[in-house]
Amino acid sequence: MDIHTAGSRREGVSDTKLAALADPWTSPLFTPAERGALRLADAMTAVLPVDVPDELIAELRAHFGDAGLVELAALVATENFRARFNRVFGIEAHGFAAREVEHAAPER
């Protein structure tokens, strides 16, 4: 989450929306497509076996199309790989998100 929080801020995602990731299911800040993408990430991140319901795939295909769904699943799989790889070697967050706030330009 660390480096992705920093990147999200640079892309204009508010700190309020980032904080709402703790419970996105009832937050009005997330679109149905975003909630679907988060459900896919949860399903793909679960301890084996990975179980992604057909209904979720159909919902995501409606939001993102076939190519977008492939890209979304690849991104989630890549992040799962990185997280598990980092865990093996004890690699922890490096404070990218905090540095991003520290060096942010003052709001106007």
Q: What is the pLDDT of residues 50-99, one digit of tens each?
A: 889 999 999 999 999 999 999 999 998 998 888 888 888 887 776 655 55
The pTM of the full predicted model, rounded to 2 decimals, is 0.66
Which distant-in-sequence residues (6+ apart) come within 8 Å of 76 by Cβ? 40, 41, 44, 45
pLDDT > 70 in the chain, percent: 83
Q: Which two tokens stand for residue 19?
A: 């904080």
The CATH classification number of 2-102 equals 1.20.1290.10
Integer CA distances (angstroms), 102 to 6, 34, 42, 96, in order: 11, 28, 30, 10
**Distance (Å, rounded) from C-alpha 65 to C-alpha 59?**
10
Residue 108 banded pLDDT, cuts 50, 70, 90: very low
**Distance (Å, rounded) from C-alpha 16 to C-alpha 85?**
30
**Distance (Å, rounded) from C-alpha 11 to C-alpha 100?**
12
Task: Report domain extents, the chain.
Answer: 2-102
Which distant-in-sequence residues (6+ apart) come within 8 Å of 61 by Cβ? 69
